[in-house]
Amino acid sequence: MKKSIIKLFAGAIIVSTLASCAVSAPLMVTANKRGEKVGEASYKTIFGIQMGLDAETGVIAAAKNGGIKKVATVDQTVKGGLFITTVTTVVTGE
């Protein structure tokens, strides 16, 4: 009985470690033309705590990274794992 519980617990740990989820959602759409330029900004969290607190993230940083002056769309993707989550903001525009 004890070996079965240990095997079940070990299997649950392996499955939850390999499992991940990604959610993508539009945050904003403007009347500006979509354009060819795309900018991204990302940050990671471990147990919900953002790593690199001084890092530039978000819409302004993504626009700056893509050389965008007029923002058309903003999308955000959240990829979650067991301990680490990555949040990426994608901006398109001219």
pLDDT at 16 over 70: no
Residue 9, in any domain of the structure: no
Say if CB 39 and CB 91 are below 8 A apart. Answer: yes
Q: How many domains does the chain fold into?
A: 1
Query: pTM of the full predicted structure?
Result: 0.73
In a domain, 60, yes or no: yes
The answer to whether residue 6 sits within a structural domain is no
pLDDT tens digits, one per residue of 35-86:
889 999 998 888 888 887 767 788 899 999 999 999 999 999 999 877 888 9
Is the Cα dihedral 92, 64, 55, 29 positive or negative? Answer: negative
Residue 2 in domain: no
| From 9-13, 30-34, 44-48, the region with the lowest mean pLDDT | 9-13
Q: Is residue 78 part of a domain?
A: yes
- For residue 87, the cross-strand partners are 43, 78
Which domain covers residue 56, as residue numbers?
Answer: 20-93
pLDDT of the residue at 51: 80
